Structure 1
Amino acid sequence: MNPIAIILLVLLILSGIGLIIFILLHSGKGTGISDAIASSVYSTQTGTSIVEKNLDRITIALVIVFMVSLVLLMIFYPQGSITAGQ
């Protein structure tokens, strides 16, 4: 397999797993995992907003990595032609 394909596939898989984890950490209506963590770390409401902002930033970065690696894989291998013989 091509080294570029390996790098892009690893980025795609790691960012996908990261997206799953960080999306699950987001709180829906104040009952999420991030609120439980934030309430134990910070005792005020400002701590929760800091945690949520950091979760948003990390999630956006992972989305960008995921989409760029996906688009690059689609450009380099349009017909799914990643094989062991290349």
Structure 2
Amino acid sequence: MTIGISIALILSSCLMVLLVLLHKGKGGGLTDMFGGGFASSFGGSSVVERNLDRLTVITGVVWFVCIIALGLLLKP
């Protein structure tokens, strides 16, 4: 049980980092360095931004639930 939750935690953590880096920045930064082509072609679409926001929130909720579940399962 804890192994499965640990794997879900690792996957959601990696996905969260990727999703946060894909968000449109307010200025220069990692978004411009890594996502310059992606941001220029899809940056004006509000549907893409809303879907990215939703996916980020869902991933954050999954990450939070995994943290709480591991904390409860590993409690002495």
TM bucket, shorter chain: 0.7 to 0.9
- How has the CA–CA distance of structure 1 residues 36 and 50 changed in structure 2, closer, same or farther, with 3 Å as cutoff? farther
- How has the CA–CA distance of structure 1 residues 54 and 60 changed in structure 2, closer, same or farther, with 3 Å as cutoff? same
State TM-score, norm by structure 1. Answer: 0.70
Aligned to 1:37: 38
What does 1:7-86 align with in structure 2 at a 5 Å threshold?
Answer: 7-29=4-26, 32=31, 33=35, 36-37=37-38, 39-41=40-42, 45=44, 47=45, 49-79=46-76
Q: Which structure dedicates a bigger proportion of its chain to helix?
A: 2
Percent of residue pairs identical: 35
State TM-score, norm by structure 2. Answer: 0.79
How far apart are residue 28 of structure 1 and its match?
Answer: 1.4
Q: Which runs of 4+ in 1 moved over 3 A?
A: none
Measured in 2, the distance between the counterparts of 1:7 and 1:15 equals 12
- How has the CA–CA distance of structure 1 residues 41 and 63 changed in structure 2, closer, same or farther, with 3 Å as cutoff? closer
The alignment covers a number of residue pairs equal to 71
